[in-house]
Amino acid sequence: MFTQKISTKLEEDLLNYRPILLNGDSKNVINIIPDKSIKLIYGSPPYPNAKRNYKTWKIKDYIKEISPFLRRSIPKLRDDGFIIINIKANRTPATPGGSSERSLVVEELMIYMKKRLGVYCVDIEIWVKSNPVPTGLRAACQDAYEYNLWFSKSPKWQINIDSLRRGYSKSSLDTYKNSLYKRRTNGLLYVSRDKMISPHKIGALPINVVSGAVSGKKISHQAVQPEYLAEKYIKACTSEGDLVLDPWLGSGTTGVVAISHKRKFIGIEISQDFLKLAQDRIEKASNVKDK
């Protein structure tokens, strides 16, 4: 499958489920990946205006910075592939004459993806953080969520919805137990006949909100994601043996999750130090040690 540009060693690694970690700028490195080979691109780019120990992109330049990678990445997706970007909006610095204003560049990015990349919006999901980092901001409420921009290459997609089912809450179970869903008399047909509705045997349908804590890992990367985020989308969009790409690998969280779910994995990271960190984490997770 990987013939001209990706070396035989890398091809062999992929076939043997050994993760491939590449150092460089993802907008250039993406070119060595063959067209229509990736099932899922999942990653978290530098956030607009974020203050981090790695290069981030300014709000005003954001679309210009991220778009070369995005444009080149879509042909690399299989026709049934997905791209999901985890991203957080940010604010402009306050000035003596003005408050710190919330940027709408992430909303611009959603529109850019739809209109310029020709992909189809599965959903804009929300990650609600149970322990958001306090900012001391008084111009607005504390920022406690991020977006997951979920797009499909094909207008008709399939996701593994059953793999995301969750337990029913006690109140839902009580409702199922006690309620007969009746045909309404106001003409609005919610159910066509009186019936009892019972819970699905493998759990309730998933919702488009992910809730949980930010990662508590004490490592040298400042934006380590909790594993449950990548896990949701890897389970939803891929099956065993499918190829996952994280173009902004950071500390390697997506790779850890992909490998532990028996997916093939390519990660790209611009910093050699972070690449090394990711490599250590992914190797530990997979027990794959190259000699």
Binding residues (CB under 6 A) for ligand SAM: these are 25-26, 44, 46, 54-55, 221, 223-225, 248, 250-251, 253, 268-271, 274
Q: Please state the closest distance from residue 135 (CB atom) to ligand SAM, in A.
A: 17
Q: What is the Cα–Cα distance from 275 to 281, expressed in whole angstroms?
A: 10
Q: Please state the closest distance from residue 154 (CB atom) to ligand SAM, in A.
A: 26
Kindly tell me which of 37 and 254 has the beta carbon lying closer to ligand SAM.
254
DSSP H helical ranges for 159-271: 170-178, 227-237, 253-260
Q: Please state the closest distance from residue 189 (CB atom) to ligand SAM, in A.
A: 45
Q: Nearest to ligand SAM by Cβ — which residue? A: 250
Number of CB atoms found within 10 A of residue 257's CB: 26
Kindly tell me which of 88 and 102 has the beta carbon lying closer to ligand SAM.
88
Cβ contacts of 160 within 8 Å, gap of 6 or more: 235, 236, 237, 239
Q: Please state the closest distance from residue 258 (CB atom) to ligand SAM, in A.
A: 12
Count how many Cα atoms sit within 13 Å of the Cα of residue 200 in the half-sphere of its side chain.
12
Kindly tell me which of 109 and 223 has the beta carbon lying closer to ligand SAM.
223
Kindly tell me which of 31 and 178 has the beta carbon lying closer to ligand SAM.
31
Q: Please state the closest distance from residue 179 (CB atom) to ligand SAM, in A.
A: 43
Handedness of CA 184, 187, 193, 195 (dihedral sign): negative
